[in-house]
C-alpha cells in the first residue's frame, strides 16, 4: 500500500520509530521504512553496535544511520539473538536508499519472545494510519 509517496508493505510489522520487521521461518529480518529513508535523505553511513551472536533488546539501539540531514539511532523491534548483520551497508549505505525493504535490510534475529513483542508493533494498516497523522502534523 502507498501513503502519499511512501511504500508500506502489507506483510511487515512496524515501530513508531520507523523500523520494520518481517517474519521468516521463526526468525525476523529488520530494517528501516521507506518513510525513514526519505526523511533522512542522502544516507552516508550505517553502523552496527551488535555482532552475530549478540543479544538485542526490544526498543533498544542496535546501531545508527547518518545522512546529510541527521544521525538517528536504529532500534530493535524485538528481543533476541543476532543471526546475521548486513555489513554490506557499512561500505555501501546507499543500498538502504535504493531498496529499504529488500537488500537494505539490517539484521536477521532469532527472537526470544516474538508473539509478545509483536503485540507492541503496528500492522501495515496501523502504521499507515500512524503515518497519515504524522504527515498531517508536518
Domain hosting residue 24, numbered range: 2-137
pTM, to two decimals: 0.94
Residue-wise pLDDT tens for the chain (138 aa)?
988 889 999 999 999 999 999 999 999 999 999 999 999 999 999 999 999 999 999 999 999 999 999 999 999 999 999 999 999 999 999 999 999 999 999 999 999 999 999 999 999 999 999 999 989 988
**Cβ neighbours of residue 31 closer than 8 Å, sequence gap 6 or more:** 19, 20, 96, 100, 101, 104, 105, 106
The answer to whether 112 and 79 have CB atoms below 8 angstroms apart is yes
Task: State the total domains in the chain.
Answer: 1
CATH no. for residue 37? 2.40.50.100
Residue 4 has a pLDDT of 87
Encode burial over 43-54: b for 16+ CB neighbours within 10 A, e otherwise.
Answer: beebebebeeee
Residue 51 has a pLDDT of 97
Amino acid at each position: 500500500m502507498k501513503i502519499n509517496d511512501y511504500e508500506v508493505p502489507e506483510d511487515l510489522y512496524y515501530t513508531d520509530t520507523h523500523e520494520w520487521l518481517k517474519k521468516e521461518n521463526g526468525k525476523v529480518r529488520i530494517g528501516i521504512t521507506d518513510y525513514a529513508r526519505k526523511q533522512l535523505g542522502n544516507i552516508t553511513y550505517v553502523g552496527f553496535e551488535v555482532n552475530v551472536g549478540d543479544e538485542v533488546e526490544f526498543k533498544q539501539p542496535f546501531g545508527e544511520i547518518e545522512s546529510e540531514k541527521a544521525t538517528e539511532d536504529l532500534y530493535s523491534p524485538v528481543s533476541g539473538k543476532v543471526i546475521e548483520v548486513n555489513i554490506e551497508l557499512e561500505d555501501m549505505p546507499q543500498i538502504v536508499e535504493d531498496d529499504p525493504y529488500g537488500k537494505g535490510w539490517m539484521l536477521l534475529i532469532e527472537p526470544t519472545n516474538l508473539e509478545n513483542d509483536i503485540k507492541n508493533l503496528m500492522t501495515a494498516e496501523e502504521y499507515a494510519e500512524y503515518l497519515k497523522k504524522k504527515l498531517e502534523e508536518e
